[in-house]
Amino acid sequence: MVQVAVMGAGSWGTTVAKVFADAGNEVRLWARRAEVADDVRDNHRNSAYLGDIELPAAMTGTTDPAEALNGAEIVVLGVPSQSLRENLQNWKDLIGPDASLVSLAKGIEHSSGLRMSQLISEVADVPSERVAVLTGPNLAREVAQGQPAATVVACTDMDRAKLIQAAVAAPYFRPYTNTDVIGCEIAGTCKNVIALAAGIAAGMGFGDNTAATVITRGLAETTRLALEVGADARTLSGLAGMGDLVATCTSTLSRNRRFGEHLGKGETLEQAAASTKGQVAEGVVSSQSVSELAEKVGVEMPITDAVVGVCHEGADVQQVMMGLLGRSKKAE
């Protein structure tokens, strides 16, 4: 048993906290809002994000970062990618000298172009070997309900990856280890962008052939980018790559897919956000970061560029989709 702090009490942060508790650990969940922390501590619920799903007794909630992080051997960072830097600057002095830092955020910081593990290492001033990534086909509600799922714990230090793997292995949750942090993070970031495209296609009324095309060609452009920046090709065909992409592009539980669906029906970004509890999908922000990285390293990513056009350049959804189909013909 280890002491775990989970910093961020959204649907996925709370779910990961539940998994660690179900795996036999003591878990403190930090929430920004007092009503969420009180609900977790007093009622063993996070009604705001997970409805009536019961949380384990080994979990408690707090709004005090010092209380959450005190003695934590594993620190799970579950806040959105674009707010991670600011939060971590406030928390870094409270983190133990050999604690493992685990990133749940999937994105590239727009201002710096850093992947989340790089940002964590820089801001917390810790070696990269202490930073791990948890990623895979893990829709929060299904995992919270105890439905069988698998994930990847990626860390350049395999021994540390195995320690985290052992701590998060619940009866319904099977973690695999990987040392390809780059591949896992690029795949996790890009799949949110591709899921927006899949949602846009669905919102326009297109069916399974279109969805399969978006997923397959989305994986192709993600793989091109990942390999160019140093990833292992095997990662892209595994749980962190293909697995996560399929789940996020096809499930109605996927916020990015749902958001894209609203855009495909002709709604604005503001209208789409209103339909997803006021939250702009991660892929909207990530699309710009991914597109800029791809341009920097000379990789063509037409689906990502199409999403950027719709989300940030006012492009017409119908014209963008037809433009994708009308591109110059090429070999697969």
Q: Which residue type occupies 171?
A: P
The Cα-based distances of 197 to 3, 122, 219, 250 in angstroms read 40, 32, 12, 11
What pLDDT, in 10s, does the model give residues 287-314?
Answer: 999 999 999 999 999 999 999 999 999 9
Residue-range domain boundaries for the chain: 3-179, 182-325
Distance from the Cα of residue 137 to its chain's centroid:
10
Do the beta carbons of residue 249 and residue 191 sit within 8 Å? yes
Q: Decide if pLDDT at 228 tops 90.
A: yes
Pairing assessment for the beta strands 149-154 and 131-135 based on DSSP bridges: antiparallel
Banded pLDDT at 81 (limits 50, 70, 90): confident
Note whether 3-179 and 182-325 share their fold.
Answer: no
Domain 3-179 has CATH 3.40.50.720: yes
What pLDDT, in 10s, does the model give residues 232-263?
Answer: 999 999 999 999 999 999 999 999 999 999 99
Q: Decide if pLDDT at 330 tops 80.
A: no
What whole-number distance in Å separates Cα of residue 134 and Cα of residue 105? 9
Q: Decide if pLDDT at 328 tops 80.
A: no
Catalytic residue among 92, 162, 191, 277: 191
* pLDDT confidence of residue 5: 98
Residue 277 annotated among the catalytic residues of the structure: no
The pTM for the full model equals 0.95
The CATH number for 182-325, chosen from 1.10.1670.40, 3.60.15.10, 1.10.240.10, 1.10.1040.10, is 1.10.1040.10
